[in-house]
Copies of this chain bind each other. A is one copy, B any other.
Amino acid sequence: MIDMPALNQLLDAVQFDANGLISAVAQDAHTGEILMLAWMNRAALSETLSSGQAVYYSRSRHTLWRKGESSGQQQRCLSMRLDCDRDAIVLQVEQTGVACHTGRRSCFSWAPDTSGQWVAVADVLIDPSTLYGQSS
């Protein structure tokens, strides 16, 4: 556990942008696969550091986004790395189920082909209608 003064010291060192946000990349802690890129404000980073569960900031809903709260597809944050500019972070996570709202393991699942199409290169593992059937 981390105490409040130490937590605030960590947060104070982070360079949130003009909108109060940093980029956050979630990476599978075991396979290295990059699962998603999202955003965090100070409150999201604080809660992630203190709870050990990935919490982002939803720019569309203007609220904290506790990953998996409605879908069940949570991310346990095992470790964290800040970058040299202190404005981006990598979370090494244990992903329950899938990270992507399309039901794919990773959001980064489309590759370019020479005909000009972005082609899905990962299977849908969970029917997305079951992920968000009960809430938004």
Contacts of A37 in B (CB 8 A): 23, 25, 83, 88
* Contact yes or no, B32 A112, CB < 8 A: no
Proximity string of chain A (88-132) to chain B, C-beta cutoff 8 Å, 1 when within and 0 when not = 111000000000111010111111101111100100000000000
- Known contacts A10-B112, A23-B23, A49-B112; decide if A118 and B34 are in contact (CB<8 Å): no
Within the complex, the shortest CB–CB distance from A76 to chain B, in Å, comes to: 16
* Contact yes or no, B34 A33, CB < 8 A: no
How many of these chains are in the complex? Answer: 2
Q: How large is the interface on A (under 10, 10 to 19, 20 to 34, 35 or more residues)?
A: 35 or more
* Contact yes or no, A6 B116, CB < 8 A: yes
Chain A contact residues, CB within 8 Å of chain B: 1-3, 5-10, 13, 23, 25, 27, 31-34, 36-37, 49, 79-86, 88-90, 100-102, 104, 106-112, 114-118, 121
